[in-house]
Amino acid sequence: MTEQYVLDLQEVDETQVAVVGGKGAQLGGLSGIEGIRVPDGFCVTTDAFRRIMTEAPSIEDRLDRLSRVNPDDREEIRRLSAQIRGAIEGIAIPGDVATAITRALARLGEQAAYAVRSSATAEDLPTASFAGQQDTYLNVMGPTAILQHISRCWASLFTERAVIYRRRNGIDDRTVRMAVVVQRMAFPQAAGILFTADPVTGNRKVATVDAGFGLGEALVSGLVNPDVFKVRDGEIVAKGIAAKQRAVHALPGGGTQEVAVDARRQEQPALTDAQVVRLVRLGRRIEAHFGRPQDIEWCLVDDGFQIVQSRPITTLFPVPEARDEENHVYVSVGHQQMMTDPMKPLGFSMWQLTAMAPMHEAGGRLFVDVTRRLASPASRAALLDLMGRGDPLVRDALETVLDRDDFVPSIPDTGPGGPPAGGASTPVETDPAIVTKLIERSRTSVAALERDIRTKRGPALFDFLLEAFEEHKRVLSDPLSIQVIMAGMEATWWLNDKLGEWLGEKNAADTLTLSAPDNVTSEMGLALLDVADVIRPQPEVVAFLRNVEDEGFLDELAKLAGGTEARDAIQAYLDRYGMRCVGEIDITRPRWRERPTTLVPVILDNVRNFEPGAAERRFEEGRQKARKKEQDVLTRLRALPDGDRKAAEAKRMIDRVRTFIGYREYPKYGIISRYFVYKQALLAEAERLVRAHVLAEREDVFYLTFQEFHDVARSHQVDGRLIQQRKDAFRSYRALTPPRVLTSDGEALTGAYRRDDVPVGALVGLPVSTGTIEGRARVILDMAEADLEAGDILVTPFTDPSWSPLFVGIAGLVTEVGGLMTHGAVIAREYGLPAVVGVEGATRLIRDGQRIRVHGSEGYVEILP
């Protein structure tokens, strides 16, 4: 039947991606929107493409080879993809397919001019637009030429850039099909692109129109700078008229030509203001139909707009759902927790259930709504102060929002401002026994959880966990624990402020807190040096570890000389710290106990780069430096006017900071210890559901929220389509960069340092650990791939506590995310590493192996020649 090879656009809607590809489905959907004009046309379906592919068996073999090529081997991808394209273009279109196409052309006008456009099944989707990855041909005339260009569109599924783009988006070449859209050619006076949300800021209420003369190809190809209009609430709020010196026009005999624009017209706007507003109104109608912001290609023909393409804008960060129409301001949780990767649904839902503040999910990340605290002058000042001390970029972003008088209306204070955000600041006695007591409380609570959860199964497990989450929050909100954390932070701030004022010392607390006691995260890094000490004298063990790939390698160690001692040392480390991992706030991430191979490269680096006894030596060296710094500071203070009083105050604060600052890391250790207990129980439940044939695989539960998992445990029914949708969404979220601050309008704000005291070309950040160091930059995105030498400077997006074993072997630290009191900063100070955090784009701007200089006191990084 000819219908399977050709469908009219009016017969298609956006649900038929598998039949007519993304572009064809979107155009079909557009055709059905009242008031939207789409040039007449038809789709050559994916059935036709499948028929073509069966005509050349050699293509299957080449696809096999292409699937095995390393994604970084551009040359081999280029060679194989060219062979596949050549094979497709060389296939004669079967008679019944060609007949279906020529009949459709006859209905629309055989001698008319047409646009022939690729429409892949993985194109123009909500999660990946694939814009520009396949080919479009304009002003094609005559059946023979149109058939030839349809073949070229089929072949364009295998352009080098399309193949690489699919690899990066995790899409298998074999799963994608190519349809082709054939449309009557529009000959516009002007054309361009309409974004129904601002593509730069993300603001959903601001539409952007790019416009130029002639066909839109001039804009898409970058031939000319367009006129740019910004429209909000039906009014043009900004516009820039460009000098449009070139345009692309259709030729009478087919094809297109670049032409010069008459000098008198170059600086005239391509659209009138009224036309811009009318176009945006059409765009809002299209956006409402598809349910998300759109990137729309339009043509102006005789004062009427024709829409030739609409695709979702896939680069926008999603906005948290709100139950009202009010303005909201959200602050990123990931930037505070040093984990800005997306979380799977089980991960973010469990963090929401165990967090001390309500959190909202968007794009797989969590945000806290701070609107009410910003609206009240008293709580606003406390919030901005806290944010400014932690991450100045968050404060700057919030102040940018506040500068817009109408976005966050002030509400009168109904009473005193209350304690600073983050907890009570009631003084607590400087007594190390308090920290010991808190740690013991946490251990007792975790031990009780481990004991009580063992007998829980099915729905009863989830009921138990909901009660356990309340105990979790009770431990977190323990007033004494909060007092101790605040006491350590306030003592740090006091020392930095006062010693800066009295002695001109910058960040003196950095040295004074070296090797502070009871810091479980810095102990974790040093403990891995002790593991290396056990392994170093055993050459067979070292050689074995260099080739380890299997997670069961610990069992194999006992067969080697010295292997039992090595296994026991690693196992003891995992018993104490194995619940940790990169991105540990997401319970779905594999823990070190589940994937111990993650630690092997770090252990081998320690074996190679350190001498025996390094852990004890480093800790003692840090303690001596801190003691020497204390003596130096107190001596200099006593020499000042009123020096005895100043020295006494400073001594009291130094004792306080050394007593309490290490505990700052323990609550997170307690949280993650509990998380591992939760996870083991939940995975055991998932295993039971797999055995009962409810779930296809255990990790499918990661794509359900906690409540959904609970429902599945009760009903023994699961929606497989929902799990697949969640997997697709999670993959798309990985390509998004979360903002520090996000508004309900969708505007993403990253903040700025606004400094003019750094050298030209330097990368600006936040100074969090004093000192200056020069060395080789190691840009590392995955801890498991670390290969460090002594003196290297670690450059990475973020460092949560799991990165601290790497800190013992580096000379300095640069991260894209972080604040003064985030984990990476605290441990950098513990180890005496010069560190600058919050350096936007550091892993992109600094190349692996480059020499850099880190100014940990001044807060900038120089890239050296």
Give the whole-angstrom CA distance, residue 498 versus residue 120. 64
Q: 């910004």: which residue's tokens?
A: 230
Question: Which pLDDT score is estimated for 134?
Answer: 57
Give the whole-angstrom CA distance, residue 297 versus residue 282. 12
Question: Which pLDDT score is estimated for 224?
Answer: 76
Give the whole-angstrom CA distance, residue 112 versus residue 859. 64
Give the whole-angstrom CA distance, residue 328 versus residue 320. 9
Residue length of the chain: 865
718, 700 Cβ separation under 8 angstroms: yes
Q: 């996000």: which residue's tokens?
A: 742
Q: In what order do the strands lie in the sheet with 136-141?
A: 6-8, 41-44, 178-184, 113-120, 136-141
Residue 294 forms beta bridges with which residues? Answer: 312
Task: Give 509's contacts (C-beta < 8 A, 6+ positions apart).
Answer: 491, 492, 495, 496, 499, 657, 829
Give the whole-angstrom CA distance, residue 177 versus residue 421. 54
Residue 265, helix vs strand vs coil: coil
Give the whole-angstrom CA distance, residue 242 versus residue 195. 18
Mean pLDDT of each 10-residue bin along the chain, 865 residues long: 80 92 94 94 94 82 81 84 88 92 93 92 55 72 94 90 77 84 92 94 95 82 84 95 82 78 85 96 96 95 93 92 93 94 98 96 98 92 91 95 88 54 65 97 96 96 97 94 94 95 93 94 96 97 95 94 96 98 96 96 95 96 96 97 97 97 95 97 97 97 98 96 95 93 96 92 94 96 86 94 91 94 87 94 96 96 96
Give the whole-angstrom CA distance, residue 45 versus residue 26. 14
Residue closest to 825 by CA, chosen among 839, 835, 811: 835
811, 836 Cβ separation under 8 angstroms: no
Task: Give 274's contacts (C-beta < 8 A, 6+ positions apart).
Answer: none
144, 183 Cβ separation under 8 angstroms: no
Phi, psi of 766 (to 5 degrees): -110, 125
Task: Give 378's contacts (C-beta < 8 A, 6+ positions apart).
Answer: 413, 416, 417, 418
Q: Which of the following is catalytic: 149, 328, 472, 823? A: 823
- For the beta carbon of residue 131, count every other beta carbon within 10 angstroms: 15
Q: 């972003």: which residue's tokens?
A: 397
Question: Which pLDDT score is estimated for 247?
Answer: 83
Give the whole-angstrom CA distance, residue 531 versus residue 513. 25
Question: Which pLDDT score is estimated for 417?
Answer: 43
| Secondary structure (DSSP) of 397-435 | HHHHHHTSTTTS------S---SPTTS--------HHHH
> What tokens does 745 get?
């309008």
CA distances from 376 to 383, 394, 414, 568 (A): 10, 18, 9, 56
| Secondary structure (DSSP) of 538-571 | -HHHHHHHHT---TTHHHHHTTSTTHHHHHHHHH
Q: Is 823 a catalytic residue?
A: yes
Enumerate helices (H) and strands (E) in the chain, giving the number of each. Answer: 31, 26
The burial class, CB within 10 Å (0-12 / 13-18 / 19+), for 127 is: middle
- The widest CA-to-CA distance across the chain, in whole angstroms, is 101
pTM above 0.85? yes
> What tokens does 686 get?
């998932």
Residue closest to 279 by CA, chosen among 452, 514, 36: 36
> What tokens does 197 get?
């949300």
CA angle 267/272/278 to nearest 5° reads 145
Residue 306, helix vs strand vs coil: strand
CA 758 distance to own-chain centroid: 28
